Amino acid sequence: MKEKRDDFLYEKESYDIIEACREVWQEFGGSFKEAIVDKALEITLRGRDYKVESQKRIDIYFRGEKLGTYIPDKIVNGIILIEIKCKPFIASKMLDISGVPPVITKEDERQFWHYLKASPYKLGFLINFSPQKLEFKRRIYDKARKNQPA
């Protein structure tokens, strides 16, 4: 069993989310559209006794004025934001440690980072279920840990 770290935000939940994503990816192999994968992940997380909210509306404010609404794919246990992608592999010279090019783009990451910053949540996952591999980015945003990757 892994040693518990006091500085790892929502450690158990994080490992459970990643494992649930792996289960969904292994079963579907990244061959379905986002709506199907989204629902399968929700079922898997609820099977692990997590409360899952889908498409929860989050109002975005600036100086007390509402600017718009952000709708994340999932909120888990009221504490973790999840954004799901189902982007296919794109030929690239850049390879990650698995030998497969990353599919999550810098633009995806920037957009996700802005969503996390604008939300009340400290922890978020950007997850891509591509046919070639499962990719995820775990990010933390709060005033004490501003701009530090998880």
pLDDT at 95 over 90: no
Give the span between the Cα atoms of 139 and 9, in whole angstroms. 10
The answer for residues whose C-beta is within 8 angstroms of residue 114's C-beta and 6 or more apart is none
pLDDT at 117 over 60: yes
Give the span between the Cα atoms of 104 and 131, in whole angstroms. 13
pTM of the model: 0.80
Give the span between the Cα atoms of 98 and 52, in whole angstroms. 30
User: What is the CA angle 117-121-113, rounded to 5?
Assistant: 30
* CA dihedral sign, ordered 39, 44, 46, 52: negative
User: What pLDDT shows up at residue 101?
Assistant: 60
pLDDT at 16 over 90: yes
The structure tokens listed for 91 are 């030929």
User: What pLDDT shows up at residue 32?
Assistant: 84
Confidence band of 150 (pLDDT split at 50, 70, 90): very low
- Helices (H) and strands (E) counted in the chain, each on its own, are 3, 7
**Mean pLDDT computed over every residue of the chain:** 84
Residue boundaries of the structural domains of the chain: 11-141
pLDDT at 18 over 80: yes
Confidence band of 145 (pLDDT split at 50, 70, 90): very low
User: What is the CA angle 116-64-121, rounded to 5?
Assistant: 20
For domain 11-141, the CATH architecture is 3-Layer(aba) Sandwich (3.40)
pLDDT at 75 over 50: yes
Give the span between the Cα atoms of 126 and 8, in whole angstroms. 18
Give the rounded percent of residues in the chain with a pLDDT score beyond 70.
81
